[in-house]
Structure 1
């Protein structure tokens, strides 16, 4: 089966996912026009498209709605399942309404269902699409491997393929409202800088990094940690078992915290939180807190 056989006369253009071009192409040329832009069909220069298939592509391209100026977009077409591997072959138009040609590198894309719930995510090398002409629409097939789909069925309608803007932005401070109200702006800015300087998380990594500890006179231990979320979706914590280890590797506190309300950490973000171990959960005699670590027991 050739690449062009994936595009059928029965295909229809679905949801469009458009963003401002500056989100992906820093300093891209911008038009001052306010007029909508109708994108022109563009094929990869290495494609030798049969005449009959060109009609299919033109029919689909004619269904595309005009974009606002200075946008990049992914317009969903359809999804086929590769019979042997079970991989999903996601057909879409990559569209540009900016007035100059562009070339892009690696960008993470996400598949969302009709309720905008995440189905799958994967980074793609957009260099493979070649140079995208001004104000154009280029058809492409994006392959999402079966292992990324997690047993989900192909959605019937309303799904979309989109740029994962969360993965493009810097890791951010996710400050709870109670912390925002209590911390002066200067301290909030210090926290944001500390988080920016922490080692980069792996994709989908959740990490617990201690940053402040104090043993009170009543022998309760107050521990502040960074809850770091490398996922591209929110994580919700209802119960958190936690252990504190001092500089000598000694276990000085151990407990399990019920979080009510649930503690949510936004995608690609770090949330600071303080946990208080009551005295009966603390064995801090002769503890060396010059260095310490927080860990979640398995």
Structure 2
């Protein structure tokens, strides 16, 4: 059974409104198959440094821990790649059968086009 968990810093700082939105996204999530990684979009924004912030609910339905070590991620709107960047996040380990919210921060130089911040999705790029 899939469990929702929050990284400790998130748990301490997240607003009640955002927590409820994440809990709703978790309860609405449908998993087609087991042993996969799913990313449910939550929200996206541009910060004061013009970095693209993409917040998702990461669903690890596998039987192994999930970590991000030089993991290439893409943010796509429609059929256009908006940004692409490789992430290494030593502090992030998502246990098996666990879902966790996370914000991926794409630096300015990773953006190919200006983000509309609508109807976007984040995906993990398979090794090529």
TM-score class, shorter-chain normalisation, is: 0.7 to 0.9
User: CA 1:189/1:218 → structure 2, altered by over 3 Å: closer, same or farther?
Assistant: closer
- Alignment partners' CA distance in 1, 2:17 and 2:74: 30
Moved over 3 A (4+): 184-187
Contact (CA 8 Å) 1:219, 1:282: kept in 2 or not? no
Match of residue 250 from structure 1: 80
Confirm whether residue 272 of structure 1 aligns to residue 101 of structure 2: yes
Q: RMSD of the TM alignment (CA)? A: 1.9
Contact (CA 8 Å) 1:213, 1:221: kept in 2 or not? yes
1:288 match: secondary structure: coil
User: CA 1:186/1:278 → structure 2, altered by over 3 Å: closer, same or farther?
Assistant: closer
The structure carrying a bigger strand percent of its residues is 2
Contact (CA 8 Å) 1:172, 1:192: kept in 2 or not? no
Match of residue 295 from structure 1: 123
User: CA 1:293/1:190 → structure 2, altered by over 3 Å: closer, same or farther?
Assistant: closer
User: What TM-score results when the alignment is normalised by the length of structure 2?
Assistant: 0.84
1:1-298 to 2 correspondence within 5 Å? 169=1, 171-247=2-78, 249-261=79-91, 263-285=92-114, 287-298=115-126
For this pair of structures, how many residues does the alignment match? 126
- Alignment partners' CA distance in 2, 1:284 and 1:207: 25
Over residues 248-293 of structure 1, what are the superposed CA-to-partner deviations in whole Å (9 max), with x where a residue is unaligned?
A: x1111111011123x21122221111111111111333x4332011
- Alignment partners' CA distance in 2, 1:190 and 1:225: 11
Give the C-alpha shift of residue 218 in structure 1. Answer: 3.7
- Alignment partners' CA distance in 1, 2:48 and 2:112: 13
User: What TM-score results when the alignment is normalised by the length of structure 1?
Assistant: 0.39
Structure 1: segments with no counterpart, 5+ residues: 1-168
Structure 2: segments with no counterpart, 5+ residues: none
- Alignment partners' CA distance in 2, 1:274 and 1:297: 17
**Rg bigger for which structure?**
1
Contact (CA 8 Å) 1:241, 1:255: kept in 2 or not? yes
